[in-house]
Structure 1
């Protein structure tokens, strides 16, 4: 590869990295805006509907190429990689700030390591263990700092953070399934078809078991809130996953994983801009989580 091509490839990689950090880091403020009108279930379901619908041109033509085992695994990927986390994040943000949700989400690479070691015979190193320990301390600090109460708020655990950590566990399962059970199928096909697999469940739940349609017609501001969720689904779930897959091709996996460290920065920026308050204890916890993820994910 010539020097010019290397520079062009590096510029593309950095461009993808910045765009993805902005998109994924902004997801949490979009969830917050959607929750101003809609319930967590409505936000989660409509996010999946928007993402699944926009990728139909990519998913349906590829269905004929699948065997039964791939279909089964893609249903699991759709559930743990998109469907369940969409509901968990929305539920968490009913009692958790968007900025802290973005920080907790940074734990995903470490859960990839843990799930891989427990169920997929992946090797866990001493560096992984040190990173897990540091990040765990950071999570405990964040769980025990009560907003608006200073350090005297220690001891009041915000249990809604566990919804985010459970979503990270789902992502850990999802990425290991993709890594170890999909060799021939391309990443774009995995993303599109897995979303198609859970699209019917999201549609049925959204329009048969929630007040989503009623709110669109009768509640002031519902269309604006719905547009935020649609943007979340199309950009934050569908297009961002495709961009990430493209970035992996033009950059190293280690470079691609560095988006994990930028997402909390963007999430915190939006949170502070929106009037969210971070205490000194929060900053200690945030630093520990990011350092722990960096140490545990470094190769």
Structure 2
């Protein structure tokens, strides 16, 4: 299969995996706290990655480590906590749509910090995308007055972390394998996550609660596929495609995530759906550059 075919195959698989991640987070929160979901996700993912990727870390040279550490905290440490905390107040479908800001923030980060030039069409896409975000958040707060939409800020911060990570990998880490990069990320973040998990009292209570044990199962599935496998696949995609193409997996993720949410009893207002569509229009424009 050629490079172009691989790009689209990776994009499809990531859509299926990450589109299902939001409902898994929601199910994990039934028996676990948001902090426990985030920490457990990191610890489980590290275990899976170390078991298959430890030998590949020999590829990492001295000059790589600072970028791998920064990449790890931006993309793999803070977002699991932020998304779990946000989804205590915001529906999983809304979280997935807000995650679509990643390509827009990737473009902004590339322009502001990495010297990537931006076309006028892409700039319009960024503006349109953020207009859609405001509509989604404000109308969502009206439609669901029992939910605290200020928590949406945590998702937006996560997309900024993802955006910086994409540009860091593209500029500084394309000469080592995706598995080495991803495993190296977790070398730095697994110990803090384990300490946080231990401090929550997780190990003293998990065996006494069937509800917690079921939630642990959901987080295990999320960690193995939604974090470990998907992150390696995503890093491969970054290395063979443009940063904005790689992050445009968020085009199709919301469709699957919203479907999961509706099946689980969530509802969207018409204006929320309009805001989500406006975001995706902005992402489309931002992902298109004049030849």
Fold shared per TM-score above 0.5: yes
Match of 2:200 in 1: 210
Displacement of 1:214: 2.7
Whether 1:20 and 2:14 are equivalent positions in the alignment is: yes
Work out whether residues 174 and 239 of structure 2, in 8 Å CA contact, stay in contact via their aligned partners in 1.
Answer: no
How many residues align structurally? 288
Match of 2:287 in 1: 297
Q: What TM-score, normalized to structure 1? A: 0.88
**How far apart, in 1, do the equivalents of 2:239 and 2:64 lie?**
23
- Pairwise CA RMSD: 2.4
Q: Equivalents in 1 of 2:240, 2:29: separation in Å?
A: 36
Partners of 2:103 and 2:248 within 8 A in 1: no
Distance verdict in 2 for CA 1:249–1:81, change over 3 Å: closer
Task: Tell me what 1:118 maps to.
Answer: 112
How far has the Cα of 1:220 moved from its partner?
Answer: 2.7
Query: Contact 2:106–2:243 (CA<8 Å) still a contact in 1?
Result: no
Aligned residue for 2:221? 231
The 8 Å contact of residues 143 and 158 in structure 1, kept in 2 or not, is answered as yes
Q: 4+ residue stretches of structure 1 with deviation over 6 A?
A: 248-255
Contact 1:147-1:277 within 8 A present in 2 as well: no
- Matches of 2:102 and 2:243 in 1, distance apart? 15
2:79 maps to: 85
Partner of residue 46 from structure 1, selected from 40, 43, 67: 40
Structure 2 residue 150 is the aligned partner of structure 1 residue 159: yes
The equivalent residue for 1:277 is 267
Alignment check: 8 A CA contact 1:112 1:175 kept = yes
**1:227–1:104 CA distance, 2 compared to 1 (3 A):** same
Taking structure 2 as the reference length, the TM-score comes to 0.90
Counterpart check, 1:170 vs 2:161? yes
Alpha-carbon distance in structure 2 between the residues aligned to 1:9 and 1:62 = 26
Distance 1:294 1:58 in 2: 36
Shift of 1:64: 3.9
Moved more, 114-123 or 267-276: 114-123
Conserved? CA contact 1:43–1:87, under 8 Å: yes
Distance 1:88 1:251, change over 3 A: closer
Q: Which runs of 5+ in 2 are unaligned?
A: none
Gap runs ≥5 in structure 1? none
Q: Which residue of 2 aligns with 1:30?
A: 24
Larger Rg: 1
CA distance in 1, matches of 2:238, 2:112: 25
Per-residue deviation at 1:19? 2.5
Please say if 1:189 is aligned against 2:180: yes
Segment drifting more, 121-130 vs 106-115? 121-130
- SS of residue matched to 1:195: helix
Of the structure 1 ranges 195-204 and 25-34, higher mean CA displacement relative to structure 2 is found in 195-204
State the partner residue of 2:170: 179
Cα distance in 1 for residues equivalent to 2:113 and 2:69: 19
Distance of 2:35 and 2:170 partners within structure 1: 29
How far residue 241 of structure 1 moved from its aligned partner, in angstroms, is: 2.0
1:243 is aligned to 2:263: no
Which region of structure 1 is more displaced relative to structure 2, 87-96 or 245-254? 245-254
Residue 248 of structure 1 and its aligned partner are, at CA, apart by: 6.2
Structure 2 partner of 1:260: 250
- In the aligned structure 1, how far is the partner of 2:55 from the partner of 2:275? 46
